[in-house]
Amino acid sequence: MIAIDNLSTGKRANVAHLEDTNRFTLVEHDIIMPIKIVEDVAAIYNLACPASPPKYQIDPIHTLRTSIDGSQNMLELARQKSARILQASTSEVYGDPETTPQPESYKGAVNTCGPRACYDEGKRAAETLFYEYRKRHHVDARIARIFNTYGPRMDPQDGRVVSNFVVQALFGVDLTIYGNGQQTRSFCYVDDLIDGLMRLMASTDGVSGPVNLGNPREFSVLMLADMVLEKTRSSSKLRFLDALQDDPRQRRPDITLARTILGWQPSTALTDGLDRMIAHFAQELCCQSKVAVS
């Protein structure tokens, strides 16, 4: 197994347990630049690109290039190696949706000139590249549209709502809510998502996608905040800030296609996934505090 990562949002510690084996190699490389792989490659998961608005807005042009130039470089690699390739697309291709739940047939309502456009439009363009490489070059290319995913080993400073709330609650500071908190999200535990990605990659039924992968249960941001406060037994309060530009009002996947063709649906309840994530974050933040003190 070969992992390619520029470590802009990740860290070696997340794969340290794999590097001790002779079956795993980490290559530090930015996929906006072409790369040569001498080994045989059977399958490529293109998961590259920051997914957190605070992270991808640091360098929006690089974010856009990761989705476009990076995807083309990985598609060329798949073409050279006759490998199957899967694109990690996103529910953000639907923009601020005018219908719910969002099926794969929904074309979306995306702002092409806003603070989120570098990510949203980059992922939409990447889907087009995958479609064209499949059509023109007969690359076995698949597309998964991923809805909000959470779990252990997320960066505590990731900037997305679940990690924000957990870290703020553990530190006893106010939970920041943008807007009135009535906007909804669907939260898929990372293990369930990985299962869906692997099923889509392994499918032999001519499935190419896009295929929605996410939890169809819908929660408001306020509901999530209440759950985190209860589970952490935190005394934190809620602090309401101005709504963010182009922040979607609703997120809920229609996973009929994934259920039908992949036999997939998430099995981890939000309450259980939060327990695991909170335990991991509590341990990691405790270790970081000890290092800082010493």
Tokens 């309060």 sit at which residue?
237
Backbone phi, psi, residue 44, to 5°: -125, 125
Tokens 């933040």 sit at which residue?
285
Q: Which of 119, 133, 150, 189 is catalytic?
A: 119
CA 103 to chain centroid, in Å, comes to: 18
CA atoms within 13 A on the CB side of 150: 29
Contact 5, 28 (CB under 8 A): yes
Closest CA to 123 of 54, 185, 46, 191: 46
Rounded CA-CA distance 11/49 in Å is: 14
Residues 6+ apart with CB under 8 A from 16: none
Query: Among this protein's residues, is 119 annotated catalytic?
Result: yes
Tokens 């470590």 sit at which residue?
7
Bridge partners of 45?
A: 86
25-28 and 175-178 beta bridge pairing: unpaired
Supply 282's token pair: 């509590």
CA atoms within 13 A on the CB side of 105: 2
Neighbour tally for 256: CB within 10 Å: 14
Rounded CA-CA distance 178/53 in Å is: 13
Closest CA to 35 of 3, 1, 9, 11: 3
Supply 238's token pair: 């809620």
Residues belonging to the active site: 119
